[in-house]
Amino acid sequence: MINFILILVYVLIGYSIKNLSVVPANLAHYLNKFVIYLSLPAMILLQIPKLDFTSGALVPVAVSWSVMGLSALLVFFVSKYLAFSKEITGSLMLVAVLTNSSFLGIPVITAYFGDAALPYIVIYDQLGTFLALATYGTVIAAYYSAKSAVSLKIILYKIVVFPPFVTLVVAMFLRDVTFLPVMNDIFTFLAATIVPFALVAVGLQMQFKLPKEEVKAFTFALLVKLIFAPVVALVMCTLFGWEGLSAQVSIMEAGMSSMITAAAMASFVGLAPRLSNAIVGYGIVLSFMSTFILYQIIT
């Protein structure tokens, strides 16, 4: 319950202070920059070396990547059909695809299934959405933020200099390395700033009224994230005969709202910041109701 309250508090703080004269007009940009350059890399260094790639991770990993893959394809083709701008398409490819599998997923799912669900939540988050954020997210941010003609060379350059991806590569070689206690404390402190900084930035950029050209994209993103994604997970588990807690947790995770850090990434590279943050902010509130309905369906 405390996480629910904190989510609302952080967003409200950002929304409440955005019109104060003492608050810099570009504060949200600097908060997102801090998250991308320091907070997220610290989280990667803490979590990636701990990953245990075992066969027990099959269901959450398969569901998470399948849901993200199909969501990305749907977003791509519908964005083309509806003639969304490159900026809006890039935003949707991040916030309508990547899910809030940890900060929102942990309290919501454990509230329904108890602590026994935690291992499956961690697997879904770490081997699924978290890895996707550092890899898929980097590629999307690099491609859609390019202002001129995009070449493979430009995309590769943006990827190899993007802090989360660089840190991910480094972290892969640190599986047997033990950080000094002081380094571990620093990384832990920085990683803990992801949620408050990103959510305050969400609040700073939130508007109750979106421009007419963004309403359609906003509605579509919420439908993908809160309805299409969990339906894909449910159908997939049914088709493959996956049952039990691992399947239930995977379906619930697929139905969480958009990843907070995805909005931070979209905002940082200039992919429709107002729209990205509106999808995250409103999605969090709506997901409380949608996940309750989803729980009734799968139990």
**Domain membership flag for residue 70:** yes
**Domain membership flag for residue 213:** yes
**Domain membership flag for residue 186:** yes
What pLDDT, on the 0 to 100 scale, is given for residue 149?
58
Question: Can you tell me the distance from the alpha carbon of 195 to that of 275, in angstroms, rounded to the nearest whole number?
Answer: 19
- pTM to 2 decimal places: 0.79
Query: Count of domains in the chain?
Result: 1
What DSSP character marks residue 99?
Answer: B
**Domain membership flag for residue 20:** no
**Domain membership flag for residue 3:** no
Mean pLDDT by 10 residues, the chain (299 residues): 75 85 83 86 82 70 96 97 95 95 79 81 84 87 76 72 82 84 93 84 76 89 96 96 91 93 88 90 87 93
What pLDDT, on the 0 to 100 scale, is given for residue 54?
60
What pLDDT, on the 0 to 100 scale, is given for residue 232?
97
Let me know: does 193 contact 250? Beta carbons within 8 Å.
no
Question: Can you tell me the distance from the alpha carbon of 61 to that of 46, in angstroms, rounded to the nearest whole number?
Answer: 20
Q: Is the dihedral of CA 154, 259, 38, 172 positive or negative?
A: negative
At residue 271, what is the residue type? L
**Domain membership flag for residue 15:** no
Let me know: does 44 contact 110? Beta carbons within 8 Å.
no
> Residue 47 belongs to what domain range?
25-298
What pLDDT, on the 0 to 100 scale, is given for residue 74?
98
**Domain membership flag for residue 13:** no
**Domain membership flag for residue 4:** no
What pLDDT, on the 0 to 100 scale, is given for residue 53?
60
Q: CATH number, domain at 79?
A: 1.20.1530.20
What pLDDT, on the 0 to 100 scale, is given for residue 46?
86
